[in-house]
Amino acid sequence: MTTSDPKGAQLRLALALTRAIPLVAPTLLKRRLAKGKDLPDRWREKLGEPSLPRPDGPLIWLHAVGLGETLALRGLIAALAGQAPDAEFLVTSTTRGSAEVLAQNLPPRTRHQFLPLDAPGYLARFLDHWRPALSVWAEQDLWPGAVTATAARGIPLALVNARMNAEAYARRRRWTGLYADLFARFRLITAQDEATARHLQALGAKRVSVTGSLKAAAPPLAADPLRLAEAREALTGRNPVLLASSHPEDEFVALSALRAAHPRPLLLIAPRDPHRGAEIAIRAAEHGLTATRRNAGQGPTADVWITDTFGEMGLWYRLCATCLIGGTFGATEGHNPWEPAALGSAMLHGPRIANFATDFAALHQAGAAQPVQPEAVIAALTADHSAMAARAKALSDTAQGALAPLATDLLKLAGLA
């Protein structure tokens, strides 16, 4: 760290607390492992112990927290790779699901590791091994120890795709000193929208630019060709419609509407948490509907097929002409609409879309997404929305080609452009 790097009272407190992490980390991680929340052969990555060799050449390290944020980095990596053919890429995240799904959608010259817990010794091992030329953080999750340790080594830092609504800003206001000190270490900060930019600046960020959402520019989710062919054959003649990334509130709406529908399409339910498959089957029975579960080896032979598997959303968006976006009938406030857009699946949604308000506004303006009332869900899902799907895909295709300026700015920070 240089003498000009600010280190106020709140940051000093946060860094002091990180020194206690090794006292509890092994026990907590082993508990997570016992609950299936971490991968048995990779949990020690969170102690800063790499499970992969460092590649030769300059390495760009990108970090995101969970599944959606991690997948959104793929378009940016593609843009960086196109401009810097010698660069290699490391993606870190914190959740098991993000690691498993990214493994099926990994860009070229890219590998994944879990971000070490925010303790000095773990971070030192991580940085000693990977020696990145640039550190790129996505959205809003900043770890004080990791940010300061990276900056102290002279590694340039960038914050991209930042998103912070009013509620998230309110939770952080009391830590303005901490965030101001952390933001001061970033040489480039970009936000998804103007509201986020204002919130970041109120927390002490300087020179925030608005570049839109990386999720809009992410390449289509992958699908295994054999599984795709098998699923397509199994769905032949069934008129499938999809409830994507669902939560209990969404499932109640869809199951209630399906029960009243005549004739009934085949409803695929892809829960946000695939471990909820058995629970959803019970809810379907309570509605007088039959259900089968893909994770139990069952095919689409009932009223509802619960596709409770990890990493297969690329299949269902390809096979269902229309989908209902989950999280839009409850407090979750929506999920990423750009994944179905990139694969030509028309999008319907409920009234609660605050997490992606800017994205849905753009889609609505282009006639590329449609709100729907609970009682009309099944009728809307079975209608022809091919023109709407085509408009959504055109927006996605355009966004995928718009990352070149951001990629250039990042490569300049890394000394690669």
The two tokens of residue 195 are 């509201």
Q: How many CB atoms lie within 10 A of CB 107?
A: 17
Amino acid (1-letter code) at residue 2: T
The two tokens of residue 346 are 């028309």
Q: Which residues are catalytic?
A: 69
What is the C-alpha to C-alpha distance for residues 240 and 378, in angstroms, rounded to an integer? 11
Amino acid (1-letter code) at residue 107: P
Decide if 316 contacts 244 (C-beta within 8 A).
Answer: yes
Q: How many CB atoms lie within 10 A of CB 281?
A: 22
Numbers of helices and strands, H then E, in the chain: 18, 14
Decide if 161 contacts 138 (C-beta within 8 A).
Answer: yes
Q: For 62-77, b where at least 16 C-beta lie within 10 A, e where not — what string? A: bbbbebbbbbbbbbbb
Decide if 245 contacts 97 (C-beta within 8 A).
Answer: no
Decide if 45 contacts 114 (C-beta within 8 A).
Answer: yes
Nearest to 71 by CA among 138, 142, 146: 138
What is the C-alpha to C-alpha distance for residues 189 and 261, in angstroms, rounded to an integer? 49
> Does the N-terminal peptide bond of residue 374 adopt cis geometry, omega within 30 degrees of 0?
no
How would you classify the pairing of strands 240-246 and 266-271? parallel
Strand partners of residue 91: 62, 112
Helices 96-103 and 67-83 sit at what angle, rounded to 10 degrees? 40
Decide if 336 contacts 192 (C-beta within 8 A).
Answer: no
Q: How many CA atoms lie within 13 A of 19 on its CB side?
A: 5
